[in-house]
Structure 1
Amino acid sequence: MQSMITHATDTMLEGNTSKLISIVEECRKLGWSNLTIFEELLKPALYTVGDKWESDEVTVADEHLATMTVDYILSFLQKAEDSQTKIERTAMLFCVEGEEHYLGLKMTASILSLSGWEVKFLGPNLPTKYAVHFAKKWKPQLIGISVSMRGLIKNVEECTSELASLSHRPSIFVGGRIVALKEKMMLPRNVERITSLYDLQHWLTHKNMQDTSFQKEVTLR
């Protein structure tokens, strides 16, 4: 497994989309879902790229090349496994102000889309005032916030504090590398930490079960 991650990391840094697609296709032949490919291959490889950048083994340009390569692969996977089922639920996703790393958020968008959600993807570096504006405008059932840099923890705390007081009471998740590393953050009680996409999938499954039970109860009445 580690050799596959190393191979994927090297391929990202080469900017070789064709080779990375081949690696992904091999995983699909093994029966891996998009979720498994994200969690077991692409995320570990991206973290390795980040570690190499922090230790000056690669340049900012190398990191950007790797990012764009994976971005292309995520679009490829989205087209290959698009959901035909749509549900009346909306998710709003964005990176906290100052955060430029958005690939984990794009993986989250893919998982939600495959589950039938409408996704409003606001991308990287979104100021809190705009997050609040769009949340009030769209009233999403789920708000997902991504952060990977320790220096942005205060921004996350301020942003979640404002969003947690929204009158329509959405579910609010915070995820990203520093969340996975269990960095200390002062978050409102109604804000959850998502340490992996497996956590998100578990929540979605539980949510679907709740909705199904409610629909059955309404039908029986």
Structure 2
Amino acid sequence: MTHRTIAAPGGVIPAWTARLWDAVLDGDEFAAVDLVDAALDEGVEPESFLLDVVAPVQARVGAEWAANRLTVAQEHAATAINERVVAALALHPAARRTSRSAAPAGRITIACIDGEWHALPARILAEVLRLRGWQVDFLGAQVPTHHLITHIHRTAPQVVGLSSSIPTRLPTAHAAITACQATGTPVLVGGAAFGPGGDYAEILGADAWAPDARAAAELIPSIAPRTPAPQQAAIDDLPHLADQEYTMVSRTAGTLVKSIMTGLEERFPAMASYTPKQRGHTAEDVAHIVAFLATALYLDEERLFTDFITWTSGILTVRGVPALSLVPTLELLAQELSDFPRARAMITAALGTITAPPPGDAEPALPHDHGKPA
């Protein structure tokens, strides 16, 4: 199946966007919901409010967290307010009129990959599609693949839209994509997990990828139906999995984390004085590194791992933690995986992305509570 994308046009409503941002930043849910009523009552199209106001505000929430200007708690509160805004918009008379007046377009299922809790982007797409006349089954966050397939058999949608923002869910996404396609249902995917240009969507065999809800809504009507066929095994699509590196790293992730923790304690005796909370943060962050490496091995995409290390370096830096603190963990991981050539090559490439500091060893900074949004 040919992998296709479509670019999204620009367009914002600066005044409404600024007002929603202020309400979100203040944690004022009532003010945010009142903005929906005011905007739609003044003639703003419901779809435009979703795509040109809510979506940019939510993107800014993530950017502000990454820049260390919002805490994890503030990020969660802001997201919850935006979810309430979308729900309020869906119930507004203007949105209902738009949906009812649109020509019937068919039935579609929208869901988040199992393990994916960030449901707002998928919810925005679902509401845009409803406004365009689609009968939408929005299944929400973290949908187990077997339940998704049961739903498909019961409802027979024309297309399934799958969302994921977390790259470590891509192996699960692959299983969901192929399971949906085995029923004869084409799959559109979206979300940050699939890469900025949708490259990982193509590797995983999705029928189409879109960068945002507007592009997805425009692309979906042109997605061709599929013929039901037996579901393929992952190795049929990704022959590099035959070397078992992904399997071994993913299955021994817990052991790898414990070994790296032991190695860090031997290198840095001061870790013996860390509190249980600090040790927990350290182990959690090491586990993230191992998980991203495993995912990169699954796709055979070095860039996925190096991009994650680059992103993590930036997150640490803005929080006053030297990026060099990642080096000991990566070196210990390379030692543990000395018999895995693809893994070692990826770790070496990741080490090359970390800017060299002044001479001298740096204590690992992973125990610092730099925080990640859930």
TM-score (ref. length: structure 2)? 0.49
| TM-superposition CA deviations, 1:9-65 (whole Å, max 9, x none) | 342132212332454456547753222222222111111111222343322221221
Residues 1:11 and 2:26 aligned together: no
Give the distance between the partners of 1:45 and 1:7, measured in 2 at CA: 10
- Farther off after superposition, 106-115 or 171-180: 171-180
Following superposition, the deviation at residue 95 of structure 1 comes to 0.5
Give the distance between the partners of 2:110 and 2:150, measured in 1 at CA: 13
The structure 2 residue matched to 1:172, chosen from 183, 187, 192, is 187
| TM-superposition CA deviations, 1:124-167 (whole Å, max 9, x none) | 0112222222212221112111111222222222221221221x
Give the distance between the partners of 1:44 and 1:135, measured in 2 at CA: 32
Following superposition, the deviation at residue 109 of structure 1 comes to 1.4
The residue aligned with 1:68 is 80
Percentage of identical aligned residues: 21
The structure 2 residue matched to 1:145, chosen from 139, 162, 167, is 162
Q: CA, structure 1 residues 40+32, in 2 after alignment: closer, same or farther (shift >3 Å)?
A: same
Residues 1:117 and 2:129 aligned together: no
Give the distance between the partners of 1:5 and 1:153, measured in 2 at CA: 32
The 8 Å contact of residues 53 and 59 in structure 1, kept in 2 or not, is answered as: yes
The 8 Å contact of residues 180 and 196 in structure 1, kept in 2 or not, is answered as: no
Structure 1: stretches of 5+ with no match in the other structure: 208-221
TM-score (ref. length: structure 1)? 0.78
Structure 2: stretches of 5+ with no match in the other structure: 1-12, 224-374
Q: CA, structure 1 residues 71+182, in 2 after alignment: closer, same or farther (shift >3 Å)?
A: same
The residue aligned with 1:79 is 91
The residue aligned with 1:41 is 53
Give the distance between the partners of 1:165 and 1:48, measured in 2 at CA: 38
The residue aligned with 1:192 is 208
Q: Which amino acid aligns with 1:37?
A: F
Q: CA, structure 1 residues 4+114, in 2 after alignment: closer, same or farther (shift >3 Å)?
A: closer
Following superposition, the deviation at residue 113 of structure 1 comes to 1.7
Q: CA, structure 1 residues 145+107, in 2 after alignment: closer, same or farther (shift >3 Å)?
A: same
The 8 Å contact of residues 179 and 195 in structure 1, kept in 2 or not, is answered as: no
The 8 Å contact of residues 114 and 172 in structure 2, kept in 1 or not, is answered as: yes
Query: How many residues are treated as equivalent by the alignment?
Result: 204
Question: Which one has a bigger Cα radius of gyration?
Answer: 2
Following superposition, the deviation at residue 6 of structure 1 comes to 4.8
